[in-house]
């Protein structure tokens, strides 16, 4: 297995992760060098931040933010989409074939291979050639090790990722596409989150990203195509301002979701007793990088070390505009409320819903910044927060025990069973569709 180090084994500071050969409908847009709602220069140069940067350089010889080349690459990717998938959607979904038949054809090709499609459109051939290629930088053993960590985390991944994501709903660049498309808003909040949970489960099953015809690869492609549909319709909506926010679901913000599945939750989960080691975090970074490749992330710069990941998170934190307004508030408040007990449910089912509602309220309180949390009407986190914190010693004990290989294998099986059971109970007989072809909310 590949070993990890902060500097010697990674790519140059800014290097394409697989620049797309195709052009997209967004390529001819005239845009500023930096999205105006991403005021990173102002955030990096406040008096307090300048003092912190000076102190960090004196103590470590490193800045707390990325290099200027890395920042420029990240900002440029706010105006970059997914050209290969967009060409496919244009030719198939919006062309003579149409969305219904095109979706069925895509599902057939994912399950049985592209050879099962008679005379596939050229854009589909190009999409599958890219989808089925494994870049030279991929080490399948390391990627699988990263996926194993997601399996080990079980439903805790859902909890921490959901809570962390709430922080970014204050930003219109993130909140507006979700609000317009109806995702994570109002009564749709639970259904959309469960679709995301289905994605997390499918792509982290053993061998999911490397097995032709696997459910994980099919789910990843359906999500990729769904992003194209949402991106296109939101970009054309009068509420969207490209000069402010870049392209909807841009390369930059897709990459941020990858950090939201690796370094950020690994560190945050230590507060709950789950102990992810430095080496395991590097496995997660590799897993997320390849997962990003599968879903169409071709960023100019991908942070491949823990320090670089934290520097990017610091940059995004100081560049926040808090401009999502009522749309962001709806997304933030809808999420924990979505898990509340439902009318008409009784017995064990209702008890499970009361528990889920309580612990998700606690996780929102635990993983959101206090100043953000106080701005919104959130359900009470007590006494559930006491339960989450009180069980830390027990979870830490399990974490130590699972390092014994036989116990670890049993623990992983249990966590896989539990996350699937949790998902099925929440879905209540429904299935994830990954379909964004409906009309926008407004």
pLDDT tens-digit series, residues 222-259: 999 999 999 999 999 999 999 999 999 999 999 999 99
pLDDT in tens, 338-362: 888 887 888 888 898 899 899 999 9
- How many Cα atoms are found within 13 Å in the side-chain-facing hemisphere of 82? 35
CA dist., res. 175 & res. 186, Å (int): 13
Query: How much of the chain exceeds pLDDT 70, in percent?
Result: 90
pLDDT in tens, 7-20: 333 334 454 454 44
Judged against a pLDDT cut of 50, whether residue 433 lies above it is answered with yes
- pLDDT attached to residue 8: 34
- pLDDT attached to residue 343: 79
- How many Cα atoms are found within 13 Å in the side-chain-facing hemisphere of 264? 28
Query: How much of the chain exceeds pLDDT 90, in percent?
Result: 75
Determine the average pLDDT of the residues in 203-211: 97
- pLDDT attached to residue 180: 87
- pLDDT attached to residue 21: 41
Domain locations along the chain: 68-79+141-427, 83-133
- pLDDT attached to residue 16: 47
Average pLDDT of every residue of the chain = 89
Count Cβ atoms below 10 Å from residue 47 Cβ, excluding itself.
7
- pLDDT attached to residue 243: 95
Q: Residue 30 — very low, low, confident or very high, per pLDDT cuts 50/70/90?
A: low
- pLDDT attached to residue 189: 77
Count Cβ atoms below 10 Å from residue 237 Cβ, excluding itself.
14
CA dist., res. 126 & res. 274, Å (int): 42
* Cβ 256 vs Cβ 316: under 8 Å: yes
Judged against a pLDDT cut of 90, whether residue 192 lies above it is answered with no
Long-range contacts of 426-435 (CB under 8 A, 24+ apart): 426/190, 426/194, 426/197, 426/356, 427/194, 430/191, 432/194, 432/195, 432/198, 432/199, 432/219, 433/195, 434/195, 434/199, 434/219, 434/222, 434/223, 434/226, 435/103, 435/226
- pLDDT attached to residue 270: 96
DSSP letter string, 372-423: HHTTS-----TTHHHHHHHTHHHHHHHHHHTTSHHHHHHHHHHHHHHHHHHH
Where are the alpha helices (H) located in 171-277, listed in sequence order? 172-181, 189-203, 215-235, 242-245, 251-259, 263-268
- pLDDT attached to residue 20: 42
The pTM of the whole model exceeds 0.85: yes
pLDDT in tens, 368-390: 999 999 999 999 999 999 999 99
Question: Regarding predicted confidence, which is higher, 118 or 348?
Answer: 118
């Amino acid at each position: 297995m590949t070993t990890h180090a902060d500097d010697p084994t990674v790519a140059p500071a800014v290097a394409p992760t697989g620049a797309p050969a195709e052009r997209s409908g967004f390529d001819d847009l005239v845009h500023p060098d930096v999205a105006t709602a991403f005021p990173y220069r102002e955030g990096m140069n406040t008096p307090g931040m300048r003092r912190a940067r000076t102190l960090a350089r004196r103590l470590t010889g490193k800045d707390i933010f990325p290099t200027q080349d890395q920042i420029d690459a990240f900002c440029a990717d706010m105006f970059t989409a997914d050209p290969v998938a967009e060409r496919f959607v244009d030719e198939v979904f919006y062309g003579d074939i149409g969305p219904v038949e095109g979706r069925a054809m895509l599902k057939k090709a994912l399950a049985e291979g592209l050879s099962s499609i008679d005379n596939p459109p050229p854009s589909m051939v190009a999409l599958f050639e890219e989808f089925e290629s494994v870049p030279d930088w991929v080490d399948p053993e390391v990627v699988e090790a990263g996926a194993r960590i997601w399996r080990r985390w079980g439903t805790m991944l859902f909890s921490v990722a959901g809570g962390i994501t709430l922080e970014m709903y204050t930003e219109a660049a993130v909140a507006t596409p979700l609000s317009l498309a109806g995702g994570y808003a109002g009564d749709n909040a639970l259904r959309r989150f469960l679709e995301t949970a289905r994605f997390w489960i499918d792509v982290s099953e053993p061998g999911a990203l490397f097995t032709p015809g696997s459910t994980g690869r099919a789910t990843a492609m359906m999500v990729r195509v769904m992003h194209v549909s949402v991106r296109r319709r939101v970009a054309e909506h009068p509420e969207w301002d490209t000069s402010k926010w870049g392209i909807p679901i841009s390369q930059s913000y897709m990459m941020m979701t990858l950090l939201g599945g690796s370094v950020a939750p690994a560190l945050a989960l230590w507060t709950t007793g789950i102990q992810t080691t430095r080496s395991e975090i590097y496995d997660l970074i590799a897993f997320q990088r390849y997962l990003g490749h599968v879903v169409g992330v071709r960023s100019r710069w991908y942070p491949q070390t823990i320090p670089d990941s934290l520097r990017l998170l610091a940059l995004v934190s100081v560049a926040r505009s808090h401009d999502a307004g009522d749309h962001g508030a709806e997304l933030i408040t809808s999420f924990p409320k979505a898990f509340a007990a439902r009318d008409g449910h009784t017995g064990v089912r209702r008890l499970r819903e009361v528990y889920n509602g309580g612990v998700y309220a606690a996780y929102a309180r635990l993983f959101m910044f206090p100043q953000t949390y106080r701005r919104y009407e959130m359900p009470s986190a007590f006494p559930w927060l006491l339960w989450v914190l009180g069980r830390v010693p027990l979870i830490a004990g399990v974490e130590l025990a699972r390092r014994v290989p036989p116990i670890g294998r049993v623990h992983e099986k249990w966590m896989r069973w539990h996350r699937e059971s949790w998902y099925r109970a929440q879905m209540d007989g429904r299935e994830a569709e990954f379909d964004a072809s409906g009309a926008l909310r407004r």
